[in-house]
Copies of this chain bind each other. A is one copy, B any other.
Amino acid sequence: MSDTKIFLQEKDIPRQWYNLAADLPTPLLPPLGPGGKPVTPDMLAPVFPMNLIELEVSTERWIDIPEEILQLLYLWRPTPLYRAHRLEEFLGTPARIYYKNEGVSPPGSHKPNTAIPQAWYNKQFGIQRMTTETGAGQWGSALAFACGLLGLECKVFMVRISYDQKPYRRLMMETWGATCTPSPSEETQAGKQILAKNPDTPGSLGIAISEAIEAAVTDQSGKTRYSLGSVLNHVLLHQSIIGLEAKKQLKKAGEKKVDVVIGCAGGGSNFAGTAFPFVADKIAGAKIDIIPVEPTSCPTMTRAPFAYDHGDTAEMTPLLPMHTLGHSFVPPPIHAGGLRYHGMAPLVSQAIVEGLLAPRAYGQLTCYEAAITWAKTEGFISAPETSHAIAAVIDEAKKAKQEGKEKVILFNWSGHGLMDLTGYESYLRGKLVDYPLPEKEMANSLTAIKGLPKAEARKSGKW
């Protein structure tokens, strides 16, 4: 039997990030600021350090990874590529299933792939303190980890209800030296206003983003900046190391082609990081099915228009061109907190419009069933977000069996679920429910972007 794990040596780690913006058939639409005008780098300067803004707007195909960042990534990268022998056997599929194990990072997910570079670029720029928000806690703990290693202060606004329900996530952040504050808080004007109206609010990601941005831009020392863990171009860029490693590892495993690439998508960063290097091959003519997977209860990609919308509830961010359910959309309380976002990364959204991706949605019951199968075959307990990718992998493997085809399937096992076991409890006790949304809620007031580049791609039926 071939190896279960394919390792890369550190000397073989990718030394450049891949930027899909360079290869998209049409140029990426710009974010829009007040008055509907494109946002300039200067306008973002109070929020992000200029060296990261340069990455955000770059259209260079390859961007060098600084050596010091590589040295930090070596704490867990390159991550192993696994062959899912036991799942294949269980399904009786002729497909060969491979997965990147991003759960081996200290915080347990793919998030530090961007947290480390973000903290490093901020430090290079002279920043001493970073602020961010976190919902379920994956991102907050990743940034706390990165700041802990680099000696930066880190302030995380954590959605109140998660702060109360997930004390372990908060404790992870504190162990790495971060300060974690329940949001809304009395520390910002945004937080105070919400608390004045509704002292018992459970909070929301939208509110927490507003507080984190305010805490950064109002610091008079100029030494504080804000950080976002998904959606933006530079975040997806940092994550491309996943797919680039996977390519080398698949080659090492003797695979000459990939047929299917799968990742779960909330804001889009782990999916994009895994898939974009293969999207490049697809643009160049390769035949690959590339599938971002979302929850049926927050069907950004499969049911929402491609439109300009704010990234946050409080309308503090620029308007971003994305598949969006509307920034006031409140997704049902599914356990995959990382997939409860109203929008989708502009780069992923535009790749959908271009007909390069084939998004798919699953209900959480199907996903937990897939996660239990995974735990009893491959052994690992998956994050609820990751279970969405597994559900799609199982379907694709069954399809390969029906078709009698030896397909090669790659997906990103984006993180472990050890901090998220209450969802498993609900499922195992038969208390978990799906949240089918009525059709009318999907139609929001946003106007779809018109005059789309290569709009005919939208008629291909692939999205």
Interface members, chain A 103-160 (any B CB < 8 Å)? 104, 106, 108, 145, 148-149
Is A75's CB within 8 Å of the partner chain B? yes
Residues of B within 8 Å of A4, CB to CB, are 10, 71, 74-75
Is A171's CB within 8 Å of the partner chain B? yes
Chain A positions near chain B (C-beta within 8 angstroms): 1, 3-5, 7, 9-11, 71, 74-76, 85-86, 104, 106, 108, 145, 148-149, 167-168, 171-172, 174-177, 372, 375-381, 418-419, 421-422, 424-425, 428
Q: Are B428 and A175 in contact (CB under 8 A)?
A: yes
Q: Are B418 and A378 in contact (CB under 8 A)?
A: no
When C-beta atoms are compared, the residue in chain B nearest to A372 turns out to be B175
Q: Are A172 and B418 in contact (CB under 8 A)?
A: yes
Nearest 7 interchain pairs by C-beta = A171-B421, A4-B74, A106-B379, A7-B7, A106-B380, A148-B376, A168-B421
A interface, over-half SS: helix
Q: Are A3 and B7 in contact (CB under 8 A)?
A: no
In the complex with contacts A104-B104, A106-B380, A149-B379, A175-B75 CB distance below 8 A: no
Cα–Cα, bound, A167→B424 (Å) = 12
Cα–Cα, bound, A71→B2 (Å) = 10
When C-beta atoms are compared, the residue in chain B nearest to A71 turns out to be B1
Q: Are A74 and B425 in contact (CB under 8 A)?
A: no
Q: Are A74 and B380 in contact (CB under 8 A)?
A: no
Cα–Cα, bound, A405→B308 (Å) = 63
Residues of B within 8 Å of A145, CB to CB, are 379
Chain copies in the assembly? 2
Q: Are B108 and A418 in contact (CB under 8 A)?
A: yes
10 contacts between A and B (CB under 8 A): A3-B10, A4-B71, A7-B7, A148-B376, A168-B168, A171-B424, A174-B424, A175-B375, A176-B376, A177-B376
Cα–Cα, bound, A171→B368 (Å) = 14
In the complex with contacts A175-B372, A418-B419, A378-B3 CB distance below 8 A: no
Cα–Cα, bound, A422→B71 (Å) = 31
Q: Are B376 and A74 in contact (CB under 8 A)?
A: no
Partner of A422, one of B104, B171, B377, B422: B171
When C-beta atoms are compared, the residue in chain B nearest to A83 turns out to be B74
Q: Are A172 and B421 in contact (CB under 8 A)?
A: yes
Output the least CB separation between A169 and chain B (Å): 9
When C-beta atoms are compared, the residue in chain B nearest to A74 turns out to be B4
Q: Are B381 and A175 in contact (CB under 8 A)?
A: yes
Residues of B within 8 Å of A76, CB to CB, are 379
In the complex with contacts A4-B10, A168-B418, A418-B419, A378-B75 CB distance below 8 A: yes
Cα–Cα, bound, A293→B375 (Å) = 33
Residues of B within 8 Å of A176, CB to CB, are 375-376
Output the least CB separation between A259 and chain B (Å): 25
Q: Are A5 and B10 in contact (CB under 8 A)?
A: yes
Residues of B within 8 Å of A377, CB to CB, are 149
Cα–Cα, bound, A272→B168 (Å) = 31
Residues of B within 8 Å of A1, CB to CB, are 71
Cα–Cα, bound, A93→B29 (Å) = 52
In the complex with contacts A4-B75, A172-B381, A376-B424 CB distance below 8 A: no
Cα–Cα, bound, A171→B375 (Å) = 12
Considering residues A380, A381, A424, A425, which has the most beta carbons from chain B within 10 angstroms of its beta carbon? A381
Output the least CB separation between A231 and chain B (Å): 25
Output the least CB separation between A356 and chain B (Å): 34
Residues of B within 8 Å of A104, CB to CB, are 104
Output the least CB separation between A75 and chain B (Å): 5
Output the least CB separation between A120 and chain B (Å): 14
Output the least CB separation between A123 and chain B (Å): 15
Cα–Cα, bound, A425→B174 (Å) = 8
Q: Are A9 and B10 in contact (CB under 8 A)?
A: no
Output the least CB separation between A220 and chain B (Å): 28
Cα–Cα, bound, A10→B1 (Å) = 11
Residues of B within 8 Å of A75, CB to CB, are 4, 86, 378-379
Residues of B within 8 Å of A177, CB to CB, are 376
Output the least CB separation between A34 and chain B (Å): 41
When C-beta atoms are compared, the residue in chain B nearest to A104 turns out to be B104
Residues of B within 8 Å of A381, CB to CB, are 106, 172, 175
Output the least CB separation between A164 and chain B (Å): 14
Output the least CB separation between A421 and chain B (Å): 4
Output the least CB separation between A179 and chain B (Å): 11
Considering residues A85, A372, A376, which has the most beta carbons from chain B within 10 angstroms of its beta carbon? A376
